[in-house]
């Protein structure tokens, strides 16, 4: 018989304790997030909006989801670059409604980058938004870059205390889904989060203490974003 000491925490909690989202098993633990308690978010130097789209609503139980992230300078912590979750939502949409949602949220936040995974409704959405003059970057995970690889790739960012979220219901939805990732019932919000944070890292926007140079003085200031 398998014992608690011989199997990993995630398997034990899912199979024996019926608790697949146990804090012990989570890769991104709830406690890794920092709570932004001020009424307004910080002034962000760079904003990324990230989408994960579902198949047609009548044939899929998946959601389409979007998160918006801001990069800001935390002057109280040595002018380090940190991230804040600015907005999040998900829903089941027919394509015309999805297209309108994407255009409206782009107009609301004016992100520097809008990333859409090129799958399901994502491919036609990319084309439609580009026709409307919205600059969109395609995201296609490389072979072998599965969900577990992606969540582990951003874990150090959370563990370093660089990720903030306001005390809102929509932010809590993201936090809970990230804690369950990749074993949770839904992963659309979490997919948008890993997609965005990987882009910040790969683009050199966000550095960790182990990186060569923490300061990046070339960021331009931009308007504050509002919840």
Q: Which domains does the chain have, with CATH numbers?
A: 32-202 (3.30.420.240)
pLDDT digits (tens, 9 = 90+) for 21-72: 456 778 999 999 999 999 999 999 999 999 999 876 555 567 899 999 999 9
Q: 6-10: long-range contacts at Cβ-Cβ below 8 A with a sequence spacing of 24 or more?
A: 10/183
Q: Is the dihedral of CA 148, 69, 215, 178 positive or negative?
A: negative
pLDDT digits (tens, 9 = 90+) for 83-139: 999 999 999 999 999 999 999 999 999 999 999 988 878 999 999 999 999 999 998
pTM (predicted TM-score): 0.81
Sheet hosting strand 113-117, strand order edge to edge: 34-35, 163-165, 80-91, 64-74, 46-52, 113-117, 137-139
Please tell me the distance from the alpha carbon of residue 125 to that of residue 100, in angstroms, as a whole number.
10
Contact call for residues 215 and 79 (beta carbons, < 8 A): yes
191 three-class SS:
helix
């Amino acid at each position: 018989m398998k014992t608690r000491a011989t199997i990993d925490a995630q398997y034990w909690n899912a199979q024996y304790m019926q608790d697949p989202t146990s804090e012990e098993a989570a890769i991104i633990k709830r406690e890794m997030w920092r709570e932004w308690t001020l009424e307004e978010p910080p002034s962000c130097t760079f904003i990324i909006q990230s989408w994960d789209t579902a198949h047609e609503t009548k044939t899929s139980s998946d959601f389409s989801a979007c998160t918006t992230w801001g990069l800001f300078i935390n002057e109280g912590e040595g002018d380090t670059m940190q991230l804040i979750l600015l907005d999040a939502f998900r829903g089941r949409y027919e394509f015309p409604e999805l297209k309108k949602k994407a255009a409206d949220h782009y107009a609301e936040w004016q992100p520097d980058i809008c990333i859409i995974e090129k799958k399901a409704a994502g491919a036609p959405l990319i084309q439609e938004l580009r026709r409307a003059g919205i600059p969109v970057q395609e995201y296609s995970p490389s072979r072998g870059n599965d969900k577990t690889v992606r969540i582990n790739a951003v874990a150090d960012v959370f563990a370093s205390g660089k990720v903030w979220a306001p005390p809102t219901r929509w932010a809590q939805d993201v936090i809970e889904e990230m804690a369950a990732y990749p074993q949770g019932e839904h992963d659309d919000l979490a997919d948008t989060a890993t997609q965005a944070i990987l882009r910040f890292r790969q683009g050199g926007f966000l550095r960790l203490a182990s990186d060569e140079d923490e300061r990046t003085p070339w960021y331009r200031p931009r308007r504050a974003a509002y919840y």
